[in-house]
Amino acid sequence: MKTELIVNIAPFENTLALLENGILVELYTHSSSTKEVVGNIYKGVVKDNVPGMGACFVNIGLDRTALFHYRDAIPDTIRNKKLKSKKFRKQVRHNNKKMGTVLESGQEVLVQVEKPPVGKKGARLTGEISIPGKYMVLIPYNDYVAISRRITNNKEKKRLKKIVLDAKYKNMGVIVRTNAEGHSEKDLKREYKNLSKIWRDIRNQYKKAPPETCLFDDNDLPSIIIRDLIHKNIDKVIIDSKSYKEKLIKRLKRTSPDKINKIKLYNEESDILDSFGIEKEIQKIFKNRLYLNSGGFIVIQETEALVSIDVNTGSFVGGKNLEKTVTTTNIDAAKEIARQIRLQDLTGMLFIDFIDMKRNQNRNKVIQTFKEEMKKDFSPHKIFSKSPLNLVEMTRKRSKTDVLSSYFETCPCCHSVGRVLSRNTTLNKIFKWLDRAEKYHPVDSLEITVHPWVYKFAQQNEDKLKRDYHFTWNLKSDIDLDFKEFQVYSIKSKKDITDLYKT
């Protein structure tokens, strides 16, 4: 299977798209106004203790305070001698109020984001710090060595454990990843040294940095690309920015020099997302009804508590055999549902209502197809094929902000009853229009009209609007326009030319 990571660098949104044999299966947007925080390490400040919840709220510099459970507190990261006493920790388990004497309001703590903010809920924190690498994960303040369960060769397990034990420092735990299997002692020790240096830098910053500072950003764009490149065995990374390509290569020289030849610069005139057919696929995921190649369709409904997916035959009538028609539709749907789960990053509890089949053999075939497709997913998940309601139930762990949240914002009119396309995305669409017009449109003066809400946001980010084209253009506002719409008017021809260069 050929895997490619397509990277589009734009003024308001950077887009990462993972293709498997040319088909879009995962999508990630990295915008200037929102960012991922899972895995980031912060110097936080305790704001409020909530003994009834066995937790406290911590300020780490995000819009909302983050939740920090007492049971996730590590003595060394909150620098309190009381927690080193086993007797005190035992008392805390039975009486959370005692922890209030340790984690007091205004106290500084070293924490890592375990779960992202969702809706009105803040992020979830842990004191169990972990720093991931290609071959291993460093766990400070521990002293164990664990080997991935997927490494089944006992001889290899012993070899890897010996290498790590020889290299590691005291009070420094290590989890050896599956990727380490078969790799040389030199590679493993080099990575351990690199991870240890990162940890030393974090500790040094913690002493000097002001509160609510991010000490380690695991979600800057080069880190995300390198992480995907290594852990998803990507064959090629195609990026449309020379400066970002150079940043990637500089990082890879320190960690994985063997991967440098996989980084390619996109030099074509057409937009990279258009060229690979990604832009059209992105538009499809905004709709809750998705059509299958067979003629059937699936309906995806996402709520705060769960995701429901319904399968329908639609226009597909098949042959004379109803069971065969239904089975064909369900198998087609199983493949597409697995792709959409990854693409839209659907998480939490998922309920899939396949069309009823009479034969268990056919039902098992559909379930097996779905499970095989989901094996390509790196996010932790469990599939439960038997349900009293005859549904396929599954759970999937959230590791980043879902795709729709990346592309949409809370509506300023209905205040959370509905969503509108984000201003970042709307402005990004305008720039893509201008990039296409640059290749085909004659010298002209253009007026681009947007909703006042978008116009105000653009004025606040005026520095990002400075792009050189062979025509001039300026923004205007019009209250009658929809939030997601824009109109382009040509001064030369005195016509609306919006549709000329749309995707």
Give the HSE-up count for residue 110: Cα atoms under 13 Å, Cβ half-sphere.
23
For residue 307, what pLDDT is reported?
Answer: 92
Rounded to an integer, what distance in angstroms lies between the CA atom of residue 67 and that of residue 253?
37
pLDDT, tens digit only, all 503 positions of the chain: 889 999 998 887 888 899 999 999 988 887 755 677 888 999 999 998 887 777 889 999 988 899 998 778 776 666 556 666 666 666 655 565 666 666 778 888 999 999 888 777 889 999 889 998 878 999 998 888 999 888 889 999 999 999 999 988 888 899 998 888 888 898 899 889 888 988 999 999 999 999 999 999 887 778 778 777 766 778 999 999 998 899 889 888 877 788 899 999 999 888 899 899 998 888 887 777 888 988 889 999 887 778 999 999 877 666 667 888 889 999 999 999 999 999 888 888 999 999 988 888 999 999 999 999 998 887 888 998 767 777 899 999 876 666 666 666 666 665 554 567 788 888 988 998 998 898 889 999 999 999 999 999 998 888 888 888 889 999 999 998 888 889 999 999 999 999 988 87
* Cα 159–Cα 161–Cα 166 angle in degrees, nearest 5: 100
Residue 202 structure tokens: 């974090």
Rounded to an integer, what distance in angstroms lies between the CA atom of residue 241 and that of residue 228?
18
What separation, in Å, do the N-terminal and C-terminal C-alpha atoms of the chain show? Answer: 29
**Cα distances (angstroms) measured from residue 502 to each of 238, 434, 445:** 24, 10, 18
Q: Judging by beta carbons within 10 Å of its beta carbon (0-12, 13-18, 19+), is residue 320 exposed, middle or buried?
A: exposed
pTM summary value: 0.66
Rounded to an integer, what distance in angstroms lies between the CA atom of residue 202 and that of residue 213?
11
Rounded to an integer, what distance in angstroms lies between the CA atom of residue 217 and that of residue 79?
22
Q: DSSP 3-state helix, strand, coil percentages of the chain (rounded to 5)?
A: 40, 25, 35
Report strand pairing: 348-353 vs 306-312. Answer: parallel
Residue 355 structure tokens: 């069309």
Q: What is the DSSP letter of 83?
A: G
Would you say how long the chain is, in residues? 503
Strand partners, 445: 472
Rounded to an integer, what distance in angstroms lies between the CA atom of residue 114 and that of residue 39?
6
For residue 412, what pLDDT is reported?
Answer: 65
**Cα distances (angstroms) measured from residue 412 to each of 149, 374, 402:** 49, 37, 20
Write out the H or E segment, with its range, that includes residue 26: strand 23-31
For residue 13, what pLDDT is reported?
Answer: 81
Strand partners, 58: 46, 66
- Buried b / exposed e across 395-407, counting CB within 10 Å, b at 16+? ebebebbbbebbb
At 108, which amino acid appears? Answer: E
Residue 321, C-beta contacts closer than 8 angstroms, at least 6 positions apart: none
DSSP string, 399-444: -S--HHHHHEEE-TTTTSSSEEE-HHHHHHHHHHHHHHHHHHPPS-
Q: What is the DSSP letter of 467?
A: -
Q: Judging by beta carbons within 10 Å of its beta carbon (0-12, 13-18, 19+), is residue 166 exposed, middle or buried?
A: exposed
Q: What is the DSSP letter of 215?
A: E
Under 8 Å between Cβ of 415 and 313: no
Q: In angstroms, how far is CA 287 from the centroid of its own chain?
A: 20
Strand partners, 290: 298
